[in-house]
Structure 1
Amino acid sequence: MTVFYYDKTINGLLSSIFDAYKLNIFPDIILGIGDIPPLFINCEIQVETHEKKYHRVWNLLHKQLPANCINMLTAVWLSEEEKSDKLIFDYIIKAIDSQFLYINNLGDSTILEIHKLAKKVYKEGHSIKQFVRFQKTKDNIYFAPVSLQYNSLPLVINHFKNRFSSQLWIIYDVKRKYGFYFDKKRVVEISLDKEIEQINKDLFHEDEQIFQKLWKNYYKALAIKERINLKLQKQHMPKKYWKYLIEKQKI
């Protein structure tokens, strides 16, 4: 059994692909540096992440793969699912070995799994666009906390940048403790010193609580009690998002 160890970055993964072809050794398992290996290993390779290595692979992929395939691989990486790195590795190896002729062959189990996992990440990204709720702070920054299954936030930042280009805003993934801040010119990645689940109401802009109450009353007024279908509601508005939906919180 052959094991590759890498630094758990996308550039490290691409460097491992370069090393595999250079050494003509292809791993059965890919692990992070420091991970506990399985029993009965006969070959261990420590991959060094190097600019020349990953640039060679990146350039080849961007030259040969259509944009939708590059986007799929990005989504699978952002899924953070166990063994998603090996899935990406195997997909790229298959693409290179077939001279990029069968990259959409859904009869292949690896390619099928790539499509399925990417679809899940895309779906969550689409949900973020629908269910993000900004709250205005005293600093005139619109803050929106989210808690996501996948690390899909980077996929939708351009949407919010274009949609809310005249406002200061932060979208923050409380699960991964990082987010993005837009200053009306550029988006920068940020990380807050303190753990955060909800904004302290003392930090709200003076108008925010008024608008929240109006929105909750409007939501309540629209609802027809006799026609409430919680099962259907959860289907179209997954319950995992309710915590940050202003209209789902008590008045």
Structure 2
Amino acid sequence: MIIFTYDKTFDGLLSCVFFAYEQKIFPDSILAEDGQKPLFVDASYHVVTEKEKAVRVWKSLEKKLSRFARNMMLSVWLSELPETEMLLFRYIRKNTDHRKGIEMNFGDDDVLRIKDIALKVGTDARKLIQFVRFQETADGIYFAPVTPSYNVLSLIVPHFKARYADQPWIIYDTRRNTGLYYDRRSVTEISFSPQTLSELRLGILDKEKVSEEEALFQQLWKEYFRSITIKERLNPKVQRAHMPRRYWKYLTELQ
């Protein structure tokens, strides 16, 4: 078995592709440099990420693949599934070796798997846009904790920058302990301490951390939700179908 190790970045993966063709060595597995290696290995190569080489690989893909196909590749990368590295490596290799590329060859298992994962990642991003709930903090920042199945925060930034361009906000992925802070000008990646993270995973901020107006509106919204509820027509099964349960802890009306 031949394995490549790399720094777990997308540029690093593209550098692995360049290294494979440069050295004419093709891996059976691609692992993070600090990951656990298989017991039996014939050869192991550590691939250093080189931006220039990564760009060359990407530009070659631009000649073979449509923008839609390249976006699907990026979505697969954001899925963070264990199979991601080798799936993308095989997909890139097949498109590189084929004269016209294999983007439309749906008889190929890797093409179908790329499409399937990209669809799931895209669905996760759309649901996040639909169900994210902001809470105004005491210092005037609109804060929304989330737990997406995939690492999709980067996919939803354009929507929220356009939709809430005039107010500062934070969307925080409590599963991956990373978030995005928008200060009305640019978006910055942030992370919180483990203690703060444990509090955020509860979904709703403590009363002392939200603004007085936010606390008032939360109470009004709960009362409104209760007043319009018709108990005889409650249908939890349908409710879960339209609003997945994993989003419930972020909904004020369900607290």
Smaller-chain TM-score bracket: over 0.9
Q: Which residue of structure 2 aligns with residue 240 of structure 1? A: 246
Q: Which residue of structure 2 aligns with residue 211 of structure 1? A: 217
**CA distance in structure 2 between the partners assigned to 1:238 and 1:80 by the alignment:** 21
The answer to whether the 8 A contact 2:19-2:47 is kept is yes
**Alignment partner of 1:72 is 2:72:** yes
* SS of residue in 1 equivalent to 2:117: helix
Cα-to-partner distance string for 1:97-120 (whole Å, 9 max, x where unaligned):
113432122211111111111111
* Letter matched to residue 53 of structure 1: K
Q: Which residue of structure 2 aligns with residue 37 of structure 1? A: 37
**CA distance in structure 1 between the partners assigned to 2:52 and 2:156 by the alignment:** 30
Give the direction of change, closer, same or farther, for the CA distance of 1:100–1:243 in structure 2 (3 Å limit): farther
**CA distance in structure 1 between the partners assigned to 2:135 and 2:34 by the alignment:** 41
**Alignment partner of 1:178 is 2:178:** yes
**CA distance in structure 2 between the partners assigned to 1:219 and 1:98 by the alignment:** 58
**Alignment partner of 1:169 is 2:173:** no
TM-score by length of 1: 0.94
* SS of residue in 2 equivalent to 1:150: coil
Cα-to-partner distance string for 1:154-181 (whole Å, 9 max, x where unaligned):
1111101101111111111111111111
Single out whichever of 13-22 and 212-221 deviates more from structure 2: 212-221
**CA distance in structure 2 between the partners assigned to 1:142 and 1:188 by the alignment:** 15
> Over the residues paired in the alignment, what is the CA RMSD in angstroms?
1.4
Single out whichever of 116-125 and 41-50 deviates more from structure 2: 41-50
TM-score by length of 2: 0.93
Q: Which residue of structure 2 aligns with residue 10 of structure 1? A: 10
Q: Which residue of structure 2 aligns with residue 81 of structure 1? A: 81
Runs of 4+ off more than 3 Å: none
**Alignment partner of 1:228 is 2:241:** no
Q: Which residue of structure 2 aligns with residue 126 of structure 1? A: 126
The answer to whether the 8 A contact 2:179-2:189 is kept is yes
Post-superposition shift, 1:5?
1.2
Structure 2 segments unaligned to the other structure (5+ residues):
none
* SS of residue in 1 equivalent to 2:3: strand
* SS of residue in 2 equivalent to 1:81: coil
Single out whichever of 222-231 and 127-136 deviates more from structure 2: 222-231
**Alignment partner of 1:60 is 2:65:** no
Structure 1 segments unaligned to the other structure (5+ residues):
none
The answer to whether the 8 A contact 2:64-2:101 is kept is no
Q: Which residue of structure 1 aligns with residue 138 of structure 2? A: 138
Q: Percent identity?
A: 46
Q: Which residue of structure 2 aligns with residue 90 of structure 1? A: 90
**CA distance in structure 2 between the partners assigned to 1:220 and 1:85 by the alignment:** 48
Cα-to-partner distance string for 1:162-220 (whole Å, 9 max, x where unaligned):
01111111111111111111111111111123323242210111111110112122222
The total of aligned residue pairs comes to 249
* SS of residue in 2 equivalent to 1:154: helix
Q: Which residue of structure 1 aligns with residue 189 of structure 2? A: 189
* Letter matched to residue 221 of structure 1: S
Single out whichever of 150-159 and 43-52 deviates more from structure 2: 43-52
